Structure 1
Amino acid sequence: MRDKVAINVWDIWIRLFHWGLVAAVLMSFYTTKTSGVPFLFPVEVHAQAGYLILGLLVFRCLWGVLGSIYARFNTFLYPPSKTAAYSKALIKRQPGSYASHNPLGGWMVVVMLLSLSFQAASGLFLSDDIFFQAPLYGLLGEGVGSQLRTLHQWNSDLLIILIVLHLVGLVVHRLLGEPLLTAMLAGNKRFRQQPIDARNETLDASTLRLRALGVLLIAAGVVLWLWF
């Protein structure tokens, strides 16, 4: 049976956010491993990757309220009862189809965004004790700064676990016939029947463009303030 229902789920702004975040996170982790190599990647590059991540997260949080229907948090965050029911159906390999994130995926997004937010924000208070001091270094005192450094390191390990779980989730859904990676590249998902969370967009294209411009300006302002 051929697919019958095609839905544009991920708008261009969500897709740019997603792949921009992937690039910035990869650069952040890579520079963590190479910042000690002379003249290769100074610690400033690691910090700048963090500033980009923070700007992207500001964009995503605002777009999660003001953006297109499937980008909004209230579209894909479900109460515990529905999340548990979906989990049971997934174990039985009988999950329902969702245009946006399914109940488990939605909460996974929130956890990852929170972890990334803490990582980027805590980095603003740190120093390498030699050449570099972040924009807010010393603002909370030496004791709190030391605790944030420890938590920053621990949270980086948590992020690796979350990223691995995210990749495992992509594989699982691909095996269940849902190519999420393709959807994040093209923006469309195809279904054999109407998905559970199918909704009609309530905003016209011009309104979404104006909102996207405003959100982008705010996010860019945050990055520029930190960068310079």
Structure 2
Amino acid sequence: MKVLMVRIRIWDLPTRLFHWGLTACVLGLVITGNVGGQAMIWHFRLGYAVLGLLLFRILWGFLGGHWSRWTQFPLQPAGVWAYVRGRHPSGHFAGHNPLGSWSVLALLLVLALQGSTGLISDDEIANMGPLSSLVSASWVSWATSWHKGWGKTILIFLVVLHLLALAWYTWRKRLALVSAMWHGDKALPHETTATRDNGPSRAMALLLLAISVLAVFGLVSLGA
């Protein structure tokens, strides 16, 4: 018997723009970081953009649409274990599934650490983080080592893992996760709460983004 699928708005526009904006910035960061030289000017700019986007996402996790809120991330260890074993009571997740939730959090945390260490890094050649003069030499040395070494490696690993997971869900489970993050709707076998995605909500997102950008600008200006 064929199950009738229902299309429901899951991802609001601000969340989708955040996702694709962050994707573009991370790609640009990896490219400019490897090219070096004059490309490092854009590396810093993209790093500031990522910090602004991360701050926005933190705030949006409290004030955004239903499925974009942190409370909708199924993070309980028992639920993750049940999902891995294929015994989770929720067979179809409207938002992020347990593994996806932890994957998103891990990626955001590593990006936050990369952005933070970038602010106080110094390669002792031509590139110095705007806040490196405000911390001790030992902190600068550790931040530089992490940012260029383990931090970069872990970030690339998480990105590749994320892409492989998307490919697996797309081709093996036939779930259109990428297209859902593009237009916002998911086809579900049951009715569920639709996310709020209207004019007032988007206006709120713009306000939060402006606050986030100003906060990052103010932080960076501390080292001027």
TM-score (norm 2): 0.89
- For 1:101 and 1:15, the matched residues in 2 are separated by 14
**Unpaired runs of at least 5, structure 1:** none
Deviation at 1:199, TM superposition (A): 2.7
Deviation at 1:192, TM superposition (A): 2.7
Per the alignment, residue 45 of structure 1 pairs with 42
Paired amino acid for 1:212: A
Q: Is 1:163 matched up with 2:159? A: yes
Q: Is 1:14 matched up with 2:7? A: no
- For 1:190 and 1:200, the matched residues in 2 are separated by 12
1:124-143 equivalent positions in 2, closer than 5 A: 124-143=119-138
Paired amino acid for 1:164: V
Deviation at 1:95, TM superposition (A): 7.3
The partner residue of 1:55 within 48, 52, 55 is 52
Identity level (%): 36
Per the alignment, residue 211 of structure 1 pairs with 204
Conserved 8 A contact 1:28-1:50: yes
Paired amino acid for 1:177: R
TM-score (norm 1): 0.87
Residue 95 of structure 2: SS of its match in structure 1?
coil
- For 2:16 and 2:194, the matched residues in 1 are separated by 20
The partner residue of 2:106 within 95, 111, 123 is 111
Relative distance call for 1:208 and 1:86 in structure 2 (3 A) is same
**Unpaired runs of at least 5, structure 2:** none
Per the alignment, residue 5 of structure 1 pairs with 6
Conserved 8 A contact 2:12-2:197: no
Conserved 8 A contact 2:123-2:144: no
- For 2:204 and 2:81, the matched residues in 1 are separated by 35
Summarize deviations over 1:163-193 as a string: whole Å, max 9, x none.
Answer: 1110111112112021101101111110233
- The count of corresponding residues between Structure 1 and Structure 2 is 218
Question: Alpha carbon RMSD of aligned pairs, Å?
Answer: 2.3
Summarize deviations over 1:72-107 as a string: whole Å, max 9, x none.
Answer: 0111233111111111108x9x97111100011011
1:141-160 equivalent positions in 2, closer than 5 A: 141-152=136-147, 153-160=149-156
- For 1:116 and 1:140, the matched residues in 2 are separated by 21
- For 2:146 and 2:129, the matched residues in 1 are separated by 16
Paired amino acid for 1:4: M
The partner residue of 1:199 within 176, 193, 196 is 193
Paired amino acid for 2:204: R
- For 2:154 and 2:110, the matched residues in 1 are separated by 8
Residue 120 of structure 2: SS of its match in structure 1?
coil
Conserved 8 A contact 1:89-1:95: no
- For 1:104 and 1:26, the matched residues in 2 are separated by 23
